[in-house]
Every structure is written in C-alpha cells, then in structure tokens.
Amino acid sequence: MTTSAALRGLTTVTLFADDLDAARAWYTEVFEVEPYFVRDGAYLEWRIGDYQHEFGILNSRFAPHPLGGGQPAGVIVYWAVDDVEAAHGRLLTLGATEHDKPTERGPGYVTASVLDPFGNVLGVMRNQHYDDVLASMRSRLAT
C-alpha cells in the first residue's frame, strides 16, 4: 500500500555555487539550454532530460551546511546518458575534474562522476532500468 509519504522519485536536484554567473554559464553549456527560472543572486533552475527534471544552483551563502575545504558538496546525483564515456569526456572538456572514471557496475550499469567547477559531484550513468522504463513509457504512449 502506498501512502502520501511514499518517495515517488526525484523532483529538483539542487547544488551550490559561490559564483552564480559562472555556474549559469557553465551549466548552460553543459545542458545546452538557458535556465528557465532565475532569482538574481540567489538561484537558477533548468528543466532538462527526458522528463524535464529540475536542476537548481543555489548561491552558497544560502547553503544549509557549510561548504568548503576543497571537499565536494552534497550527494552524487546520476543523470541518465546514452554514452557514459562520451558524457564524462565532455564534462572534463568543459572544465570539470575527474571524481570517478567510467566504471561498469554490473550488466547494463556504467557510472562516472566529475567535480564541477564549483565543488559539486555530478554523476552520469548508463542504467538499464532507466532505459527499460523509458522504452515501456514510449511504447504505451505510441498505442
């Protein structure tokens, strides 16, 4: 039985940056689209991917916990991609640094991650489950 408190999926992923202008420029290049929502000096948000997931950057001064010390902030959020090596390589070319090289985690599952220029961990993943769910949804929509 599902309750109203059940976790149903990700909605908005929020990372932090000290320099929102630089974060806006970098992530606009990564996503190849401008943010759809902007609060000057405070917050940026893009809708990206197959399901238009929300990805936000909050000015670090509003962080609920201190950031710094050269350590990555937050958690690793993995974004589905078709080619992990290509996506990982593109992020490195755009100025990210390697956090975890592309690694097969099991049949149909490959992950990699980078540190963005603002100290956040950004993951990319080929995930067979994601592909299966997407194919199923597309099939239902076609009928």
- Over the range 50-67, which residues count as b (16 or more CB within 10 Å of their CB) and which as e? eeebbbbbbbbeebeeeb
Q: How confident is the model at residue 121 (pLDDT cuts 50, 70, 90)?
A: confident
More confident residue, 122 or 8: 122
- pLDDT value for 5: 55
Q: Determine the straight-line distance between the first and last CA of the chain, rounded to whole angstroms.
A: 29
List beta partners, residue 37. Answer: 45
Express as a percent the part of the chain with pLDDT over 90.
Answer: 42
Domains of the chain, CATH where assigned:
9-63 (3.10.180.10), 75-143 (3.10.180.10)
| Distance (Å) of CA 81 to CA 15, 30, 38, 113, 128 | 19, 13, 26, 12, 11
Reported as a single tens digit per residue, the pLDDT across 34-67 is 999 999 999 999 999 888 888 999 888 877 555 5
Residue 82 phi, psi (nearest 5): -80, -30
- pLDDT value for 3: 54
Q: Please count the helices (runs of H) and the strands (runs of E) in the chain.
A: 3, 8
Q: What is the dihedral sign for C-alpha 41, 50, 97, 64?
A: positive
| 39 token code pair | 């609060």
Kindly report the pTM of this predicted structure. 0.73
